[in-house]
C-alpha cells in the first residue's frame, strides 16, 4: 500500500438519485497522469454501474462489487478487494459508490478499521438526493433514507434544471432542519459538481461550520480551553442562554453506559442541575448513538452520523453553571484507550 494516506470519498444516495452521474463528472476532472480508483457496488448479481463509467485511460481503475450492498451482504468482498486494490494499483485517490439500497455508515466504519485507517484519509461523504422525490410518502418512514441524510457531510440536490420552485424550497427546508448541520448544501444539474469537494476534510471544516452557525445565532462565540484529549470546546451566548459544546475526533470512543447515566442527570441535583438541554452524537465503539436529554428525561437512538463525536449543553445565562465539573463528567465517559466499552 502507499505510504501517504489516500483521500477517499464516499458518494451515497437512493436508487435513481443521480449519484453515478455525479461520479462520472467528478472522474472527468481527474488531472492528467493522476492515478485514481473507483469501487462501485450494484445490488444485483449483474453489475451495471461499472459499465457506465468511462475507463478514462490508463490512470483509472474501476472495481465492481455486485451481488449485495458493500455494507452488509458484500462487506467481506469489499474488505478483501480494497486492500488488494490499494496494494496493486496504488491510487492517489479513491471514490466509493455504494448501492442505492446500501447503508453507507457500514462502509465508513470499514474504512476506519485499524488495518485500513492508516492508509486512508476519509474526506467528506456526499449524499445525492433528488428533490422531486421528497413528496413520496414512503420517505419519512425509510430508515435507509434517514441514514443517508445523517451520514452525509455534504448534501447534493440533483436535477436542479428540472425541479420546481416548491421542490427546491422543500429540499433546502429539509437540509436546514438536519441536526447536526451539514458542511454544505449544494445543487447540481446533469451531475456537474466542483471537483474541489473531493478534498473537503470534514474535521476542520466541521469545527469552522460550528463556529459560523453559532456566530449567526448568538451575540458572542469563541473557543474555550479544554482538558479533554483531542477535544475542541466552543461557547456561544445570546441574551438569556449560554451553550457550551465539545467536538471530538471520530476515532475517540465513549462508554455508552456512562453516557446514559450522564444524560440521565441533566437537570437533576448536582453539577448538571442548571442544564436546560443536552444533546450529542457519540462513537461508542460498537456503533454510534444520539443522546437527547432535559430535566424531564432523556432518550437514546442509533444514528448514522460518522463525522465526529459532539455534544452541546445549554443553560440559562444567569445560572451558576460549573462548566469545569460538567467537562469532568463528560471526560469520565471516555472509554479506556484500546478497549471497546460494553453496550
DSSP assigned state of 90: -
Rounded Cα gap, residues 8 and 6, in angstroms: 6
Task: Return the sign of the alpha-carbon dihedral for residues 14, 16, 17, 20.
Answer: positive
Write down all domains in the chain, each with its CATH number in brackets.
6-200 (3.40.50.300), 204-331 (3.30.1220)
Q: Is the Cβ–Cβ distance between 6 and 96 less than 8 Å?
A: no
Rounded Cα gap, residues 22 and 311, in angstroms: 33
Question: What is the distance between the terminal CA atoms of the chain, rounded to a whole angstrom?
Answer: 35
Rounded Cα gap, residues 55 and 62, in angstroms: 7
DSSP assigned state of 199: G
Cell numbers found for residue 229: 484529549
Q: Between the CA atoms of 69, 71, 77 and 83, what dihedral angle is there, to the nearest 10 degrees?
A: 130
Tens place of pLDDT per residue across the chain (343 aa): 557 899 999 999 998 899 989 999 999 999 988 999 999 876 433 344 444 455 545 788 888 876 555 555 546 677 888 888 999 899 999 999 987 777 789 889 989 988 899 999 999 999 999 999 999 999 988 988 999 999 999 999 999 999 999 999 999 999 999 988 999 999 999 999 999 999 999 876 655 555 544 444 444 445 678 888 888 899 888 778 999 999 999 999 999 999 999 999 999 999 999 999 999 999 999 999 999 999 999 999 999 999 999 999 999 988 989 999 999 999 999 998 655 566 6
* pLDDT at residue 64, as a whole number: 82
Helix (H, G, I), strand (E, B) or coil at 224: strand
* pLDDT at residue 11, as a whole number: 95
User: What residues does 128 pair with on adjacent strands?
Assistant: 13, 156
Secondary structure of 23-47 as H, E, C letters: HHHHHCCCCCCCCEEEEEECCCCCC
Amino acid at each position: 500500500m502507499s505510504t501517504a494516506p489516500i483521500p477517499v470519498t464516499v458518494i451515497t444516495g437512493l436508487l435513481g438519485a443521480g449519484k453515478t452521474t455525479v461520479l462520472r463528472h467528478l472522474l472527468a476532472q481527474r488531472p492528467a497522469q493522476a492515478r485514481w480508483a473507483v469501487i462501485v457496488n450494484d445490488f444485483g448479481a449483474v453489475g451495471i454501474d461499472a459499465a457506465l463509467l468511462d475507463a478514462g485511460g490508463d490512470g483509472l481503475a474501476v472495481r465492481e462489487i455486485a451481488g449485495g450492498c458493500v455494507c452488509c451482504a458484500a462487506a467481506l468482498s469489499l474488505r478483501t478487494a480494497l486492500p488488494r486494490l490499494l496494494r496493486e494499483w496504488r491510487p492517489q485517490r479513491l471514490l466509493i459508490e455504494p448501492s442505492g439500497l446500501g447503508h453507507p455508515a457500514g462502509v465508513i466504519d470499514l474504512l476506519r478499521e485499524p488495518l485500513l485507517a492508516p492508509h486512508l484519509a476519509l474526506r467528506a461523504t456526499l449524499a445525492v438526493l433528488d428533490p422531486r422525490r421528497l413528496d413520496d410518502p414512503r420517505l419519512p418512514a425509510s430508515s435507509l433514507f434517514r441514514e443517508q441524510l445523517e451520514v452525509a457531510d455534504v448534501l447534493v440536490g440533483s436535477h436542479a434544471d428540472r425541479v420546481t420552485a416548491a421542490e427546491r424550497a422543500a429540499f433546502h427546508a429539509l437540509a436546514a432542519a438536519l441536526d447536526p448541520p451539514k458542511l454544505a448544501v449544494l445543487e447540481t444539474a446533469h451531475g456537474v459538481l466542483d471537483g474541489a469537494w473531493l478534498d473537503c476534510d470534514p474535521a476542520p471544516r466541521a469545527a469552522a461550520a460550528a463556529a459560523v452557525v453559532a456566530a449567526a445565532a448568538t451575540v458572542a462565540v469563541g473557543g474555550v480551553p479544554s482538558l479533554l484529549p483531542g477535544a475542541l470546546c466552543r461557547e456561544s451566548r445570546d441574551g438569556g442562554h449560554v451553550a457550551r459544546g465539545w467536538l471530538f475526533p471520530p476515532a475517540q470512543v465513549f462508554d455508552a453506559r456512562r453516557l446514559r447515566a450522564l444524560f440521565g442527570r441533566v437537570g437533576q441535583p448536582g453539577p448538571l442541575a442548571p442544564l436546560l438541554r443536552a444533546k450529542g452524537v457519540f462513537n461508542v465503539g460498537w456503533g454510534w448513538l444520539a443522546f437527547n436529554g432535559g430535566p424531564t428525561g432523556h432518550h437514546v437512538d442509533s444514528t448514522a452520523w460518522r463525522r465526529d463525536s459532539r455534544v452541546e449543553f445549554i443553560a440559562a445565562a444567569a445560572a451558576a453553571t460549573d462548566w469545569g465539573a460538567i467537562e469532568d463528567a463528560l471526560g469520565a465517559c471516555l472509554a479506556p484507550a484500546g478497549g471497546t466499552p460494553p453496550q
